[in-house]
Amino acid sequence: MRQAFVFPGQGAQSVGMGREIAQHSSAARAIYALADQALGWSVSTLCFAGPEAELTATENTQPALVATSLAVLAALAGDIDQIVPYTRQHAVAVAGHSLGEYSALVAAGSISPVAAIQLVRQRGLLMAAATSGSMAAVIGLDDDTIDQICQRVSTLDAAVVVANYNSPGQTVISGAVSALEAAGEALKAAGAKRVIPLKVSAAFHSPLMHDAAQALAAFVASTPISAPAIPVISNITAQPLRTATAIAEELPAQVESAVRWVSTIEYLVADGITHFVEIGAGNVLSGLIKRIAPDAITTTITDMASLEAYRSQQTA
């Protein structure tokens, strides 16, 4: 059985996430304590009790989700210091959707939990500060058609691009508002079932995030990064990140590049992965994976019941 651990990104958050597992696991509590100390405010309280409006603010959501993913992984491993050995023992690769890539890098031993949480706090602040453009989800149309329409309606002053290749029939576009509107009309005319505007503050994963990416690069440059102990699959290329240099280049570029989640899962399946274990909040990735690779087996670990069920399967 070849497994990959996968970690969710923004949108998976909910008030109460991580609370139950922290009540039962000292390792999970230790991660939240590290996060609280690293940030100088109680991200654990925000995860466990909200309020929702604060939790869903980008600058808070990002460290909250990474802390929760790492708390669940630490609970699974039994100790913070066992996160990387446990991951190496049970997974042959790791991946994360956008923000989730930071959790994957911790699991692979490339960055420390504290460094990841501090980086995504800065990432969230920079992304929240961006106010240009918006995003929309496109349902029921193939990626090639979406790509072609985005290119056709884009101009030098107002561009729109694919931001997330999430699953067959579910794609997110991002860019200048006028270009988004033009693309939306053209996509519906081409057969899209729906084009749904998203409630976001800016055009994430598009060239409009270039300034944020450049600013993030300065924080990444001062962060200790090691080569991963197991392959981390890049959001940008859907190929393994194998060196510290590649990771340092990936993290800023990722903010303004498309998340190639379909290609990521296809790469892992082609590499012989049959089981995907989603670790953290929610089950968004498991749903996407089943649409990309219907024969894949998915497991979601969010609380003690799902954690114990997974452990039982591993020892059966």
Residues classed as catalytic: 98, 205
**Cα–Cα–Cα angle for 59, 64, 70, rounded to 5 degrees:** 135
Q: How far apart are the first and last CA of the chain?
A: 13
| Amino acid identity at 243 | T
Helix extents (H) in the chain: 19-24, 26-39, 43-49, 52-55, 58-77, 83-90, 100-107, 113-129, 143-153, 177-189, 210-221, 244-255, 261-270, 284-292, 304-315
231: number of Cβ within 10 Å: 21
Closest CA to 91 of 75, 73, 78: 73
DSSP string, 181-221: HHHHHHHHHTT-SEEEE---SS-TTSGGGHHHHHHHHHHHH
Classify strands 160-167 and 170-175 as parallel, antiparallel or unpaired: antiparallel
Closest CA to 102 of 252, 283, 203, 207: 252
